[in-house]
Amino acid sequence: MKPINLAGHELEHPVMIGAGTCKTVSDLEQALRTPASAVVIGSITRDSRTGNSGDVYHDGGHFSLNSLGLPNPGLEYWRINLRYYVEGYDGKNPDRKPILASVVGFNPEEYGMMTRLLVMQKASGIEINLGCPNLWGEEGQKPIPSFRPDMVRAILTSVGSEIGFDHCIGVKLSPFSDPDQLKVVARTIADFVDLIKFVTVSNTFPNAYATHLDGTRCISFEGSSGLAGMAGRAMKPVALGQIQQLRSILPAPIQLIGVGGISSGQDVLDYLRAGATAVQVVTDYLNRRKASMDEILIEYVQLTEQPEPQAPA
């Protein structure tokens, strides 16, 4: 397979496992046993979170809904464990695959502090998650930074003040339905071209809603309105459109990672053709685990390494 270069890391191929799948070291070990070329852990928050409990994930076949509420063991857990995996001690990570960490802060300073600590623990890269729609407080839904250029600027300023420019730092965005808003946020990110090496698109589509045949909500837990982030196959054209638009706005050195509805080798190829350097798989990996990565890669290799037709003798 042809290796790719993602922000200074050589990846064996472009197919990674995306954020939301690896919350603990046992999840990470499982992901490292697949043929994925790199893994994103998290999203990690400063403090551990239990997340929501009840019907928090729904597989609707052509889409998935989730409102997990960012369950994760917190920054300290990964501060202790991450380095062992990145550096491959005790046979952990035998292929020395890059391990990126996805971070969510509740203010710009927290994003900066977490990024610095995880870089110090040798994270291969940091994905700054600006797009989680599933955080609700007493005052309602928390703002989604992706849609607030002022918040994006404040977060990236904070991250930039904590670390130098020679790290693999990227941002993950929500999908924009307003092309002008996408342009404003892309130009804000472009102002940080020395810091930001990649943009991952896209996170789940916020505030989707679905019911079972009997009218009951697919996403249901105490305090929930049934709204949730949508992902899965239905997201592919949306995310491909984001890639296409962002590629034409962002400076060339900022690479794009496509995520949304990937479950086949053809999907991977479609994202690369739209302008992505690499891709991530989430819903399909959650549903099928190693078989997902095996099958996607077998098909991707078949599609990309077909022998050239021989000229007739």
Q: Which stretches of the chain bind ligand FMN, using CB under 6 A?
A: 18-20, 42-43, 57, 64, 66, 68, 70, 102, 129, 172, 203-204, 231-232, 235, 259-262, 281-284, 286
- Rounded to a whole number of angstroms, the minimum distance from the CB of residue 202 to ligand FMN is 6
Amino acid at 30: Q
CB of 145 to ligand FMN, least distance (A): 12
Facing residues of 220 across strands? Answer: 55
Please, what is the minimum distance in Å from the beta carbon of residue 15 to ligand FMN? 11
Of the pair 135, 163, the CB lying nearest ligand FMN is at 135
Tell me the residue type at 86.
V
Cβ-based nearer residue to ligand FMN, 168 or 231: 231
Nearest residue by C-beta to ligand FMN? Answer: 20
Neighbouring residues of 154: CB distance < 8 A, sequence distance ≥ 6: 108
> Which helix (H) or strand (E) element contains residue 79?
helix 75-86
d(CA 27, CA 302): 29
CB nearer ligand FMN, residue 70 or residue 218: 70
Shortest Å distance, C-beta 309 to ligand FMN: 34
DSSP state of 272: H
Residue with tokens 């292929």: 95
Nearest residue (CB) to ligand FMN, 135 versus 249: 135
HEC string of 189-215 equals HHCCCCCEEEEEECCCEEEECCECCCC
Token output for 202: 């896209």
Closest CB to ligand FMN among residues 85, 271: 271
> Who's near 222: CB < 8 A, 6+ residues apart?
54
Nearest distance from C-beta of residue 91 to ligand FMN, angstroms:
27
Burial label, 141 (beta-carbon count in 10 A; 0-12, 13-18, 19+): middle
Our CB check for ligand FMN shows the closer of 173 and 254 to be 173
Nearer to ligand FMN among residue 268 and residue 281 (C-beta): 281
**Minimum gap (Å) between residue 25 Cβ and ligand FMN:** 16
Closest approach, Cβ 93 to ligand FMN, in A, equals 21
The Cα–Cα gap between 210 and 175 comes to: 19
